[in-house]
């Protein structure tokens, strides 16, 4: 029996979502087995805000090294962590169906507008920070690191030290935390807080030369999810933006013959914010339109300035 070796980060969430991918593969190919290979990445080992320590490949470099060495056959990434400019010897061989792309506020107080004045909200994402401050300028938004459950407990646990944290719904669902903490989780609509490019998506990466692996992974590929990811990553590449940029991109099918897109770029304090939306007949066209309008509206300069506060 063939065994497909799957590289993953070692966090609870990464292991859970990679386990789900392995199960999808086993169902699609009963004749194969799977082996999960947990690998520690630079992003897992470093402390401090990701925007300060981050760079290309923060959560992916070690997994790509394992692919190149031949010690694994495929690597599972949260798509929003995968650098937009990928080395030519790699390919995204499969994109499973997108999960809930929304962000969520986790707190005891209720929805965002029910937080007390000056509430402390934790997030390590410049994108989330800017959009929160644009909605509630009074909030005290602070950087926060750690696995999903650790961050969640800082807002709703017995020893909570902040009023709320913002997390991805996909991570809460895949990690099995959405149900037990459901009373404290308040999804933020995509139009209210635009997600990061790739949010809710998994990218299954392999060596481009491994046609055999690509063929097996094709069984769990979801066409619309792949098209959306391709369009979102094209905008990132066009702007030279990284996963810790103060930039949001979301592309989705709106009907049989229509796709829609949302984009946001701003300074860290939520000022000079640009919000865009567009529709077209294909995902690629939506990505091209968003990119052209972002460039026209000064996104390149904002990102080059580091999306700094005024």
Residues forming the active site: 81
Q: Are strands 32-39 and 2-9 parallel, antiparallel or unpaired?
A: parallel
- Note whether 121 and 141 are within 8 A (CB): yes
- Note whether 65 and 90 are within 8 A (CB): no
**How many Å apart are CA 270 and CA 262, to the nearest integer?**
17
Both structure tokens of 216? 């097996």
**How many Å apart are CA 230 and CA 283, to the nearest integer?**
8
Q: What is the DSSP letter of 167?
A: E
Taking each helix axis from N to C terminus, what angle separates 148-156 and 12-28, rounded to the nearest 10 degrees? Answer: 130
Residue of 250, 257, 208 lying closest to 229 (CA atoms): 250
**How many Å apart are CA 4 and CA 73, to the nearest integer?**
6
**How many Å apart are CA 273 and CA 193, to the nearest integer?**
12
Both structure tokens of 292? 């052209």
In sequence order, the 6+-apart residues with CB closer than 8 A to the CB of 252 are 101, 228, 259, 260, 261
């Amino acid at each position: 029996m063939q065994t497909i070796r799957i590289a993953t980060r070692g966090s609870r969430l990464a292991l859970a979502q990679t386990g789900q991918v392995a199960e999808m593969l086993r169902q699609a190919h009963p004749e194969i087995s799977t082996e999960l290979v947990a690998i520690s990445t630079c992003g897992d080992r470093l402390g401090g805000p990701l925007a300060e320590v981050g760079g290309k490949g923060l959560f992916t470099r070690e997994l790509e090294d394992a692919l190149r060495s031949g010690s694994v056959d495929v690597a599972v990434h949260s798509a929003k962590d995968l650098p937009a400019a990928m080395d030519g010897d790699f390919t995204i061989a499969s994109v499973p169906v997108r999960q809930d792309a929304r962000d969520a506020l986790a707190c005891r107080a209720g929805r965002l507008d029910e937080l007390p004045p000056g509430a402390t909200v934790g997030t390590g994402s410049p994108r989330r920070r800017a959009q929160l401050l644009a909605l509630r300028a009074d909030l005290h938004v602070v950087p926060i690191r750690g696995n999903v459950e650790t961050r969640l407990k800082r807002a709703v646990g017995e020893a909570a030290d902040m009023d709320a944290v913002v997390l991805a719904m996909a991570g809460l669902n895949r990690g099995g935390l959405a149900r037990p903490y459901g009373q404290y989780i308040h999804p933020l609509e995509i139009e209210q807080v635009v997600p990061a490019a790739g949010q809710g998506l998994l990218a299954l990466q392999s060596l481009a030369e491994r046609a055999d692996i690509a063929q097996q992974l094709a069984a769990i590929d979801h066409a619309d999810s792949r098209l959306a990811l391709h369009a979102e990553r094209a905008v990132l590449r066009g702007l030279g933006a990284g996963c810790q940029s103060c930039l949001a991109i979301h592309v989705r099918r709106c009907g049989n013959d229509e796709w829609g897109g949302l984009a946001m770029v701003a300074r860290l304090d939520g000022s000079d914010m640009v919000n865009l939306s567009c529709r077209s007949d294909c995902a690629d066209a939506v990505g091209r339109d968003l990119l052209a309008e972002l460039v026209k509206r000064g996104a390149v300069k904002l990102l080059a300035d580091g999306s700094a506060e005024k």
